[in-house]
């Protein structure tokens, strides 16, 4: 068996620190230090937001207001790679790279798109890129107008989809 090492400092505190804290001690400045650099293929990204959902540091965020934006805050990135692993479009690549403030303004908008609203209540459904990709997979066409009639559920929020399905079940004699 190997010899066990004591990891406590002179005052009995744990002497291990994270690499972010170590760099701040070694290179003090008012800025932030980042460990991740991201590359995105914007033509393949559907703005589904899965990357932001799995990001534990908050470096990736989806912001929705008048438009849907995928935001990246390099100062928060620890280059864990979860975002690129979960991406269904395989359009993200993360690499470990030490950076200091001044390289680029944080946070950065990686990609933006218009918001598709529910055709019944007006709630957010998703980005038009995401709806177009889903519709193309279901119909084989990229024409939103043509697909709207055949796959109108793509243009409904979750609540309105449930209501529509329940109303359809009552009309067909099924019980909810």
For domain 31-115, the CATH class is alpha beta
Cα Rg, the chain, nearest whole Å: 23
Q: How do the pLDDT tens digits run along the chain, 176 residues long?
A: 445 444 444 555 556 777 667 666 665 554 555 667 789 999 999 999 999 999 998 999 999 888 999 999 887 888 888 999 999 999 999 887 766 555 555 788 999 999 989 989 999 888 999 888 888 887 765 555 555 555 678 888 989 989 888 887 655 444 44
Which of 100, 92, 114, 108 is CA-nearest to residue 45? 92
**Buried/exposed code over 105-119 (b: 16+ C-beta within 10 A; e: otherwise):** ebbeebbbbebbebe
Check: CB of residue 47 under 8 Å from CB of residue 130.
yes
Show me where the domains of the chain are located.
31-115, 118-176
Q: Which two tokens stand for residue 74?
A: 């390099």
Q: What is the DSSP letter of 138?
A: H
- Predicted TM-score (pTM) of this structure: 0.64
């Amino acid at each position: 068996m190997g010899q066990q090492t004591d990891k406590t400092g002179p005052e009995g505190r744990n002497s291990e620190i994270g690499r972010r804290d170590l760099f701040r001690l070694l290179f003090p400045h008012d800025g932030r230090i980042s460990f991740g650099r991201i590359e995105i293929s914007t033509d393949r990204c559907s703005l589904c937001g899965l990357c932001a959902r799995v990001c534990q540091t908050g470096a990736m965020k989806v912001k929705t207001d008048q438009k849907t934006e995928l935001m990246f805050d390099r100062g928060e990135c620890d280059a864990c790679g979860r975002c690129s692993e979960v991406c269904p479009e395989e359009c993200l690549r993360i690499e470990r790279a030490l950076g200091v403030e001044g390289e680029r303004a944080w946070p950065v908008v990686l990609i933006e798109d218009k918001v598709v609203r529910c055709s019944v209540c007006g709630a957010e459904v998703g980005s038009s890129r995401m709806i177009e990709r889903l519709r193309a997979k279901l119909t084989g066409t990229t024409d939103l107008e043509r697909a709207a009639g055949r796959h109108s559920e793509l243009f409904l929020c979750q609540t309105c989809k449930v209501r529509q399905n329940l109303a359809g079940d009552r009309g067909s004699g099924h019980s909810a």
